[in-house]
Amino acid sequence: MKKNKLFDAEYKFMDIVWELEPINSTQLVKVCLEKLAWNKSTTYTVLRKLAQREIVKNENTFVVALVKREDMQKYECNELVEKSFNGSLPAFITAFLNDKTLSLKDAEEIKKMIEEATR
């Protein structure tokens, strides 16, 4: 999935696509101008590059994502844990929780996720 790595600007663009898809490319230009302050050529350049990488499809003037938000989030999380924590999920969680206090609700939800993941 390396070809699907998104840079920050691409991720912001994809947030718009995921939120509004299917979206007409003309409308996408307007939304990108409003939310990202991008001009038309920037929007179409990013759209073309993401289409070449098969992350989006622009067909009959409508743009849709070919990669789900959840799949991209999973990829990004795995990359972060691998790159920054040598693949150690406990090291990531330790760093993430450093100086934070979890609410009881969040702690229970996390416990439930761990229990389900270890079955």
The pLDDT tens digits for 6-17 are 999 999 999 999
pLDDT of residue 13: 98
Residue 10: closest CA among 38, 39, 50, 44: 50
In the chain, which stretches have pLDDT less than 50?
1
Full set of structural domains in the chain with CATH: 2-68 (1.10.10.10), 70-117 (no CATH)
Would you say the pTM of this structure is higher than 0.95?
Answer: no
Q: How many CA atoms lie within 13 A of 107 on its CB side?
A: 6
pLDDT of residue 45: 98
Distances (CA, A) of 71 to 21, 53, 62, 65, 75: 16, 15, 22, 11, 6
pLDDT of residue 5: 86
H/E element holding 100?
none
**Separation of alpha carbons 24 and 30, rounded Å:** 10
For residue 43, give the 3-state DSSP assignment.
helix
